[in-house]
Amino acid sequence: MKKTYVLLILLVMACSTIPIGYGKPAAPQERLLQVLPNGLLKIVDTVQVDTPSEEIELGFTSDMRGKLVTSYVQGVDAQITISDIENNIFFIKARPPNTWSSGSVVIVSIWKDMLLKTGDNYELIMAINPLMREASGNISITLRVPEGGRINSLQPSILTIVNNTAASGSVNQPGGFRFTSLRAVLNLPSLTLISIVRAELNIEQLNPVAAKLMLRVRNEGDNPVNEISVKLSRQASITDVRSSFEKMKSFKDGDSIVVQLNNELGKGESIDITILYEDPSLVDMTPQTMVIHPPELQESVVGEYLVTVKTPPASDIRFDNLQPWQVLPVGASSTAVSYRFENFFPRAHFQISLNYTPSLYFNPLPPLLVILFISIGAAVVIPKVRVSRLGAALPTDVKEAVEKAVSQWFDIAVGISQYLNDLEPTQRSTAKPKQFEDLSRAVKRLRDQLSDIRRRHGDLPKNIFEMLEKGEKSISELSNSLTALARSAEDYATKKTTRRIYERIYREYRRLVEELAGEVNTLFDELRGLK
């Protein structure tokens, strides 16, 4: 720790003597340094721009480069770029989408690992002002810590401690990338170092807007955690909060829900929490547009954030700049669209929009878009789903039977996806016996349907008869492979098989299941495309 402290001080001294000068930049007027309850540092810079199209440039010392989590312009969809390190300095640069809407622009940056633990306290050591090319007068600085914390001391005494949790003052902006260094000693007993490993938001209905939010939260700190705050919205109405099958108490605190844990969450421990709630602000709907507003959750990085929404019946779906991670049919007329973000920092006003053409008849999936991702690097692929229905070459009852089988297969494919995911060897199986039983019955039922079509229609064209026969065989092999995998997973869960052996078995059966699922996909695609 002493070595780290000395290196930081040396770097601060070195950077503070670098005299570089270029053109006149936009001038920051105010800076807020806010220590968040989870240990992150939030820096809010208010910058005055002279021209509507001006680029904003804020300099930081090189030791902070690897600690930057995210940065954005408040209320504006601006272009943010991060420069390379040069002369021990790097820059956060912001350009307007077209022009700045006002002369005052607010740039927010979030930083991790800025607090150094020293005994019972934490130290914050950094350049207190932005590193600027040109001199720009004084900048107002405010430092805040969470409620229950205390600012013990500040060196040098450039800020005045107003109360236990705030200090303020002003610093001269000398230009030439020179800065004033700050060392703040902070007492933060209420600091809660938790991380959201995974968040999954499923918007399950649109009228009223109801959602299921599933979180995996881990305690990264030394102190036990008794409650977890999750930011939703002021309009959110909580229906239920659970961890597995255990109901949990909770209460609203402004736009957040505070979940009270039934047991303390110790260092390094994780917990899964499911929140059911209604919130009209989650989705804005027009007859042809959906705009989704995912909740912020916390001012924290989410390892994986998955957002899924079911569209109304539509004949066409068009996506804006943000492309979906997964598009799946739901029944015969709707579509489930999923977006996936990694190492994502949810922020206010973030939104996802898609456009659609209303329809009452069939699923709108465009060719090559129906890709069912099971996990990173592995997928069951449905290569093509043509919008055209079965042609007049087949009897009406055969067409209807095949259409029914196609719809059932899509549901089965989703089930296979989830089941394989639950059997991942990275952890003991989370799959339930009933999950396999339901999936197995559905697969066998589909196989029997194809067999029944062949038996009842012996006068079918030879090529169609052979296609149905081949489909039966593929589905039977799929059923057998899933059964064998389920037995291996059970042996692994009961420790009859080692993880190393199970990993090999799992990989082999997963590959086989994917190949067989691909054969079934192709079969139904060809049947649907018959003219």
Q: Which of the pair, 262 or 403, is modelled with greater confidence?
A: 262
Q: What confidence tens digit (pLDDT) does each residue in 89-127 have?
A: 999 999 998 888 888 899 999 999 899 988 889 999 999
Is it the case that residue 370 has pLDDT exceeding 60?
no
Q: Give the helix/strand (H/E) hosting 417.
A: helix 396-422
Q: What average pLDDT score do residues 349-356 get?
A: 86
Q: Which of these CATH numbers, 3.40.50.1240, 2.40.50.100, 3.40.50.11810, 2.60.40.3650, describes 2-187?
A: 2.60.40.3650
Q: What average pLDDT score do residues 423-447 get?
A: 77
Please say whether the structural domain 382-531 has been given the CATH code 1.20.120. yes
Is it the case that residue 514 has pLDDT exceeding 50?
yes
Instruction: Tell me, yes or no, if the two domains 195-366 and 382-531 fold the same way.
Output: no
Residues 130 and 33: beta-carbon distance below 8 Å: no
pLDDT at 82: 92
Q: Token pair for residue 520?
A: 């079934």
Q: What percent of the chain has pLDDT over 90?
A: 25
Q: Which among 214-228, 310-324, 392-406 has the top mean pLDDT?
A: 214-228
For the chain, what is the mean pLDDT? 80
Closest CA to 523 of 439, 402, 369, 416: 402
Secondary structure in 3-state letters for 472-514: HHHHHHHHHHHHHHHHHHHHHHCCCCCHHHHHHHHHHHHHHHH
Is it the case that residue 65 has pLDDT exceeding 60?
yes
Residues with Cβ within 8 Å of 185's Cβ and at least 6 positions away in sequence, in order, are: 118, 121, 122, 123, 151, 152, 153, 154
Q: Which of the pair, 422 or 254, is modelled with greater confidence?
A: 254
Segments making up each domain of the chain, as ranges: 2-187, 195-366, 382-531
Q: Which of the pair, 14 or 189, is modelled with greater confidence?
A: 189
Is it the case that residue 393 has pLDDT exceeding 60?
no
Is it the case that residue 477 has pLDDT exceeding 60?
yes
pLDDT at 314: 74
- The CATH architecture assigned to 195-366 reads Sandwich (2.60)
Closest CA to 297 of 261, 256, 259: 256
- This model's pTM is above 0.95: no
pLDDT at 523: 79
CA distance 88 to 63: 8
Q: What confidence tens digit (pLDDT) does each residue in 9-37 have?
A: 444 444 443 433 334 557 778 999 999 98
Q: Which of the pair, 463 or 74, is modelled with greater confidence?
A: 74
CA distance 509 to 498: 17
